[in-house]
Amino acid sequence: MKRSPDHDQIVGILLAAGRGKRFDPSGAQNKLLQTTRQGDKVVVAAASKLLAALPQVTAVVRNADDAVAHELAELGCQLAICPDADQGMGVSLVCALTQRRHAAGWVIALADMPHVQATTIAALAEALKQGADMVAPFYQGQRGNPVAFSSKHIAELLLLGGDQGARTLLKAHPLTQIEVDDPGIHHDIDTSADLKAAV
């Protein structure tokens, strides 16, 4: 039987299909295309950290022709198109996992978290390789994102829906905790003030 090209690999998944209504209720400004204090677009910064730590990254986008999709494709992300993304983060996640279901595991990151360090992502992937089933980073005792799952959880992950994302699984199973010196795991971009915040 021919093996999938991502078999035995830890694959990055970037959830980038949300509308970001809290950032701009009118929808005129996409928060993922705004510029951080460091001078990168939010989505580019988030994707670049994943790409620096993992050999393959699949990014979930709403539309193959929008500006977010173009930025991600140019960086080297594989795209998963999810027109039903408004139904919630769980739907976006399933869309990506369906494409990458044969991987050994996944690090699931959020496109509005540009300050997560590549070393944190690499540490999560390494924990999966060492046998962990479910891994999350902790900074000063508080859990953050991204989170990582081994292939053991694929059946449960594919059943996700709505806006819960993988939170229900995190509560239902033993979690491997990794302490990181990375305040970026707690910092997402919800408002324009968040773009200017020091992390």
48-88: per-residue pLDDT in tens? Answer: 999 999 999 999 999 888 999 999 999 999 999 998 888 88
Give the number of other CB atoms < 10 A from CB of residue 26: 6
Does residue 2 carry a pLDDT above 60? no
Q: What pLDDT is stored for residue 16 in this prediction?
A: 95
What pLDDT is attached to residue 126?
97
CA dist., res. 42 & res. 60, Å (int): 15
Q: Does the pTM exceed 0.85?
A: yes
Contacts of 158 (CB under 8 A, 6+ apart): 94, 97, 98, 101
Ranges of beta strands (E only) in the chain are: 10-15, 57-61, 78-81, 105-110, 134-139, 142-143, 147-150, 176-179
* Count of other CB atoms within 10 angstroms of residue 8: 12
How confident is the prediction for the chain on average, in pLDDT? 88
Residue 146 has pLDDT above 60, yes or no: yes
